[in-house]
A and B are shown apart, each in its own frame.
Chain A
Amino acid sequence: DSGVTQTPKHLITATGQRVTLRCSPRSGDLSVYWYQQSLDQGLQFLIQYYNGEERAKGNILERFSAQQFPDLHSELNLSSLELGDSALYFCASSLGQLSTDTQYFGPGTRLTVL
């Protein structure tokens, strides 16, 4: 158990819908990262927040957005869902934002878009 929790574990929805994935970081960690894992693209970084502020953006689609709340939990919102958005979405957290800070990963949310 990494200490990072993600809900829900599984999500099945239809194309065009909107979903929200939730992540709670390890106690004391200020950074939260979102990654998408798919068969064709592998593990790709989406977005990072540090202490409530966006810090870095990766290959995140405009239909996707995220935020980090004052209690440091984070939510990833995916809208106008397409079949290709089906993937495993991981959240990770780290103490700070140094490149040497270890990232601890959650168990992931498996999203299936039908």
Chain B
Amino acid sequence: AQSVSQHNHHVILSEAASLELGCNYSYGGTVNLFWYVQYPGQHLQLLLKYFSGDPLVKGIKGFEAEFIKSKFSFNLRKPSVQWSDTAEYFCAVNARSGYSTLTFGKGTMLLVSP
């Protein structure tokens, strides 16, 4: 079974600061990796996903994530955050050859102050 750890439960940043949210997963096989975002009062939306190929993936709204296989990590980054990035961010994983169901981390609540 897979598991996902997001080490930061709450992050507070000022606008224009750089962001990096950590995500580590545990699974012995090949995985697909996802970052979802949940803005206040809204549904979960896919930010970006990694299946294979270039380990640096770019998503919507200027977010990117890097897959480092040796570290079992898939950290989310953004060079300069905006107040509108205030949201909860979830890292998720599933097994490439298994079911499509997702295993989520506990989430990181990001608060960006103007």
Interface residues of A (CB under 8 A from B): 2, 4, 31, 33, 35, 42-45, 48, 55-56, 58, 90, 92, 94, 96-108
Contact = CB atoms under 8 A, between A and B. Distances in A.
A100 B102 CA distance: 11
Interface of B: 32, 36, 42-46, 49, 51, 90, 94-107
Contacts of B104: 35, 42-44
Given A43-B104, A100-B32, A55 B99 contact: yes
B101 to A, nearest CB: 5
Contacts of A108: 43
B-side interface mostly = loop
Contact of B49 (A35, A56, A94, A102): A102
Contacts of B94: 99
A101 to B, nearest CB: 6
A58 B1 CA distance: 11
A2 B45 contact: yes
B32 A99 contact: yes
B107 A48 contact: no
Q: Among A55, A96, A99, which residue has the most Cβ atoms of chain B within 10 A? A: A99
A105 B45 contact: yes
Contacts of B107: 42-43
Contacts of A44: 104
Closest 7 CB pairs of A and B: A43-B104, A105-B44, A42-B106, A56-B99, A105-B43, A107-B43, A45-B101
